[in-house]
Structure 1
Amino acid sequence: MTTVTIALMGAVTFGLRFCFFGPLKPERMPDRIEQALPYVMPAVLMAIIVPSVVLAPAPDGSPAWLSPYIVGALVGFGVGAVKKDNFLLVFASAIAAFALTKFLL
């Protein structure tokens, strides 16, 4: 049943996106929309990540800003700002900062 649900959700998502991006008559999208498309993925990713990081509970007895989720996100952001094209380094540093903070608290 789970597989059928996932397949149906994928079909609905594909259908909705195809209606917008794949019209039967080839037309050109407006320039403003084409310029905005590269920012869609980071915006969606931030909309998913930020609430879970900001609303994560801090360990007992430590300040709220010292939550392992916030520390990991800030370290990942900092490394990503310096090393823009190295995803594995950014990911590994964020996970290491999260684990170290969780271990120390």
Structure 2
Amino acid sequence: MMITILLMACITFFTRYLFLHRALPFKVGPKMQQFLSFSAPAVLTAIWVPIVFLNEEGINLNWQNPYLSAAIVAVIVAYKTHNIYYTTLAGMGLFLILN
């Protein structure tokens, strides 16, 4: 079991090391850079959408859903202020108040 964990850790390290080590002559082309620029928003969306919109029964679009209300406020604050601290405080603050 421990050998499996160590081998997987080595595989993970070396696959990331290839992209991060500057001495290796590996360059990502412009099309690949553009393609990879979508990975962070895609991963973050895959994380927050089920949290905000789903509950035990299924899709929850009820106005009393504290996750949805806090997310809407966070989006509005982010759009208006472009400040991650205000966005986080507004979203978390409203969520704590509603719960």
TM-score, structure 2 as length reference: 0.68
Q: Does 1:17 align with 2:44?
A: no
71-80 vs 36-45, greater mean Cα deviation: 36-45
Query: 2:86 maps to what in 1?
Result: 89
Q: Report how far residue 22 of structure 1 moved.
A: 5.1
Cα distance in 2 between the residues matched to 1:66 and 1:10 = 43
Query: 2:30 maps to what in 1?
Result: 31
Query: 2:43 maps to what in 1?
Result: 44
Q: Does 1:78 align with 2:76?
A: yes
92-101 vs 21-30, greater mean Cα deviation: 21-30
Please tell me the residue identity of whatever aligns with 2:75: F
TM-score, structure 1 as length reference: 0.65
Cα deviations across residues 36-87 of structure 1 (Å, max 9, x unaligned)?
A: 33332222111111111111369xxxx7242111111111111111122x11
SS in 2 for 1:64: coil
Please tell me the residue identity of whatever aligns with 1:87: I
Higher relative contact order (CA 8 A, sep 6+): 1
Q: How high is the sequence identity, in percent, across the aligned residues?
A: 30
